[in-house]
Copies of this chain bind each other. A is one copy, B any other.
Amino acid sequence: MNSAGSSKAKIGLIGLGLMGRPMGLNLLKAGYALTVWNRTAARAEALVAAGARLAASPRAVAEAADVLFTIVSDPPALEEVLWGKDGALSGLRRGSIHVDSSTVSPALARRAAAACAERGARFLDAPVTGGTWGAEKGELVFMVGGEAGALAEVEPILGVLGKRWFHLGAHGAGQTIKLAMNLILALQVGALAEALALVTGAGIEGEKLVEVLQSSMARAPVLDVKAPLLLKGEYAPSFPLRLMHKDLGLALDLGNQLGVALPATAAAREVYNYVKGAAKEDLDYAAVMKFWKK
Contacts and interface: CB of A to CB of B under 8 A. Distances in A.
Can you tell how many copies of this chain the complex includes?
4
A274 B185 CA distance: 23
A86 B138 CA distance: 49
A181 B190 CA distance: 13
A104 B172 CA distance: 26
Contacts of A252: 252
A225 interface: yes
A187 B223 CA distance: 13
Given A184-B191, A187-B191, A260 B176 contact: no
A251 B211 CA distance: 19
Contacts of A114: none
A27 to B, nearest CB: 23
A270 B259 contact: no
A222 B211 contact: no
Contact of A259 (B187, B216, B267, B273): B273
Contacts of A166: 208, 211-212
B195 A180 contact: yes
Contact of A141 (B129, B215, B221, B268): B215
A255 B208 contact: no
Given A183-B194, A194-B265, A254-B202, A208 B270 contact: no
10 contacts: A176-B198, A177-B212, A183-B191, A185-B216, A185-B217, A187-B191, A188-B188, A197-B260, A198-B254, A201-B258
